[in-house]
Structure 1
Amino acid sequence: MPFAHPARALRSAALLVTGALLVAGCGTGGPDGSDPSGSAKSSVQGGAKGGYPITLENCGQRVTVTAPPRRAVALDQGSAEILLSLGLADRMVGTATWTDPVLKGLEKANASVPRLADRYPSFEKVLDTDPDFVSASFLYTLGKGGVAPRERFTQLGVPTYLSPTDCVDKDNSGDGDGVRTRPLTMETVYGEVRDLARVFGVPERGEKLIGDLKARVEKARAGADFKGASVLYWFSDSQGPYMAGCCGAPGIVSTTLGVRNVFDDTKEEWPQINWETVADRDPDVLVIADLTRKAQSAESAAKKIEFLESHPVTRNMTAVKAKRYVILSGQAMNPTVRTVEGVEKVAAALRSYGLAK
């Protein structure tokens, strides 16, 4: 795909020659961008004003920013909500790829930032915003099937940041949504918040947000023992349903609360599992994503429940007969700040269903 804006490409090239633009180079991480500590590594280099330049080793690439971004684009909802939560709406010129309404409390800030597309915008449309920083939650978004590979932004001098939750201890080489080599933890999410806060020169906001999230997790699980309860996480599609494996964001919820995911025997992020196998596992509770997108069948929670209660294989499941459903936003099942929402809502539901000791 050719660059859509030759004048902008020339402008970027000129700035690269003078060294005034932000620079992204080769990484020193492992082949999957992993880090032994389980979180993103970052380091400050140079002595420019305000501590810049800042260099991050991010998912196999070394990314350097020479000043706080002023025209950022967040290409996934999770990344957008982190920036909005950090109070950076005035430095954002676009968002894209949404599955849900924006996080409560961020509606006004979000309304001030142009939405480039509900799904993937074209590379040209992103460039038309004249971005100086691009972030994303998923490797696919910054890959050949998404908006554009990271290298295409790098060629124009635009640094890109990919959430470490989609590369640290994760193998994305297959055709699915990846395989975890180690369980994801909230520490990797907190590392992303910390990275982005430092890039934008607001580290204190990052630490406050992390502190608030940690306090919410502790409050959600305090005073209850949820061991013995079993759950299943259904994200999308009724024809070839995507259920959560052991070790992604739903795994954080399960581990935090001590419940058992009935598909904790697979490290695939979102394996497609047939309904006969689901019925055989017969979980106590069904955690269901309520999506506003229309990419698959049965995206909304209402459509999912309608399917479960009418399908001959699923209608006799324990959770279906007892109507033990937990409705979550899609983002609460993704590894981002909304994962805490998942912990809170699953904990509250287990209590209400009498499954807490």
Structure 2
Amino acid sequence: MNKIAIASLLSLGAFAAQAETTYPYILQNCGQSVTFETKPETAVSVGQATTEILYALGLDETNLLGTGVWFDDVAAEYAAVNAKVDRLADNDPSFESIVGKRPDLVTIEYEWHIGPDGMIATRDQFHDLGIDTYVLPTDCVGKDNSEGVDGTRSVAFSTSSIYQGISEIADIFNISAEGDALVARLQDREVSAIERAKALNIDDASAVVWYSSVDLESDPYVAGQKGAPAYMLSQLGMRNVVQSDEEWPLVGWETIIKSDPSFIVIAKMERRRFDGDDVAKKLEFLKTDPVASQMTAVKEDRIIVLDVSQMNATMRLISGLETLTDALEAYENGQQG
């Protein structure tokens, strides 16, 4: 058994859930001790990542009363159930709209929505009403959300926090077996994608990951060196040219152009808060800007488009690894560029 597979099994073992959850179930979650007195029957999800975890674990419209904070279309396999669930808001649902559903639990993707300084509410505001909360570990493990726009990581992201979140949500709902099975499937896919990429023996490849820009004349939001995209790059044998510890720092085009990355990875999303959310506008900028168009990655068409959920700390990061690996194999075989 290779080292990657062994690490995968160890990670699964670390978060393996017991067959039945014993209530009250006490959990340390993003700096808070939370107690679930009984199995929750209903929930509202704030964040696409946590919504899709709930669906992947088999929960449906009878359990999930509402959702909010969407970056992209729901994954195709969950489209039917998602159509039956009330979308409280494409972006940020109000505190009142969530409470109005009277859920037992609110699951949260980002602390900045529901946390110490939550723009929707604090966790205590929900707890005071008898509504439990759970924040995905992907947004707090080794991360300080009080620094930077999207937080700053003190410890590099790893997919273990994705698997931890799946297992803990499964425990909360007393469906641990479903959680274990889902984690195992994702880990198998992760190991396979990484092994395929490493077999290519790419030498000294580098990349920048462009998330968005307020407008195309502004500095872009790009992936920092310790977030989910940086994890993906490092696992596939590529170096992130951005060295900031911020999750999505603003970095000037002059700096990016000077680094001349081998690849440019850009986010595709349905959200339209900023001009740079539009992937077509990103591509047009890269190909028409008199300076950016001179980068090697642009000249050689080494531009890889990922759905935004594939470059965030979500289950879909695994499909992002697969998409990147497919692209690298195609470039290596001379099918692109």
Does TM, scored on the shorter chain, surpass 0.5?
A: yes
Residue 72 of structure 2 is matched in structure 1 by 100
Residue 79 of structure 1 is matched in structure 2 by 50
Specify which of 230, 234, 237 is matched with residue 206 of structure 2. 230
Once structures 1 and 2 are overlaid, which stretch shifts more, 313-322 or 222-231?
222-231
Residue 30 of structure 2 is matched in structure 1 by 59
* Per-residue deviation, 1:55: 1.1
Distance 1:297 1:125, change over 3 A: same
Specify which of 108, 112, 119 is matched with residue 140 of structure 1. 112
Residues of 1 paired with 2:15 and 2:56: CA distance?
Answer: 22
Residue 8 of structure 2 is matched in structure 1 by none
Amino acid in the other structure paired with 1:198: D
Specify which of 121, 142, 161 is matched with residue 188 of structure 1. 161
1:190-209 map, 5 Å = 190-209=163-182
* Per-residue deviation, 1:62: 1.0
* 2:241 paired with 1:262: yes
* Per-residue deviation, 1:50: 5.5
* Per-residue deviation, 1:67: 2.1
* 2:146 paired with 1:173: yes
Is the 8 Å Cα contact of residues 70 and 91 (structure 1) preserved in structure 2? Answer: yes
Residues of 2 paired with 1:175 and 1:184: CA distance?
Answer: 16
Query: What is the count of residue pairs matched by the alignment?
Result: 314
* Per-residue deviation, 1:226: 3.4
Cα deviation code 1:49-75 (max 9, x no counterpart)? 962221111011111112221210110
Is the 8 Å Cα contact of residues 132 and 159 (structure 1) preserved in structure 2? Answer: yes
Residue 230 of structure 2 is matched in structure 1 by 251
TM-score normalized with structure 2 length: 0.88
Residues of 1 paired with 2:122 and 2:304: CA distance?
Answer: 36
Is the 8 Å Cα contact of residues 96 and 116 (structure 1) preserved in structure 2? Answer: yes
- Identity rate, percent: 39
Residue 292 of structure 2 is matched in structure 1 by 314
* Per-residue deviation, 1:227: 4.3
Residues of 2 paired with 1:135 and 1:146: CA distance?
Answer: 15
Is the 8 Å Cα contact of residues 17 and 167 (structure 2) preserved in structure 1? Answer: no
SS at 1:51 equivalent:
coil
Residues of 2 paired with 1:261 and 1:173: CA distance?
Answer: 24
Amino acid in the other structure paired with 2:297: A
* Per-residue deviation, 1:145: 5.0
Residue 128 of structure 1 is matched in structure 2 by 100
Amino acid in the other structure paired with 1:298: G
Cα deviation code 1:80-137 (max 9, x no counterpart)? 1111111112310011000111112111121121110000111001111111100111
* Per-residue deviation, 1:41: 8.6
Residues of 2 paired with 1:349 and 1:114: CA distance?
Answer: 36
Over 3 Å off, 4+ runs: 40-44
Residues of 1 paired with 2:21 and 2:141: CA distance?
Answer: 29
* 2:258 paired with 1:285: no
Is the 8 Å Cα contact of residues 74 and 136 (structure 1) preserved in structure 2? Answer: yes
Residues of 2 paired with 1:252 and 1:128: CA distance?
Answer: 39
Is the 8 Å Cα contact of residues 21 and 172 (structure 2) preserved in structure 1? Answer: no
Residue 28 of structure 1 is matched in structure 2 by none
TM-score normalized with structure 1 length: 0.83
Residues of 2 paired with 1:107 and 1:194: CA distance?
Answer: 23
* 2:189 paired with 1:216: yes
* 2:83 paired with 1:111: yes
Residues of 2 paired with 1:157 and 1:250: CA distance?
Answer: 37
SS at 2:80 equivalent:
helix
Amino acid in the other structure paired with 1:295: R
* Per-residue deviation, 1:164: 1.2
Cα deviation code 1:232-274 (max 9, x no counterpart)? 10111132310001111102201221211111x2211111011
Specify which of 214, 235, 240 is matched with residue 219 of structure 2. 240
Cα deviation code 1:294-344 (max 9, x no counterpart)? 111121221210111111221111111112121111111111111112111
Residues of 1 paired with 2:17 and 2:37: CA distance?
Answer: 13
Is the 8 Å Cα contact of residues 40 and 173 (structure 2) preserved in structure 1? Answer: yes
Q: Structure 2: which 5+ runs fail to align?
A: 1-10
SS at 2:281 equivalent:
helix
Residues of 2 paired with 1:321 and 1:220: CA distance?
Answer: 27
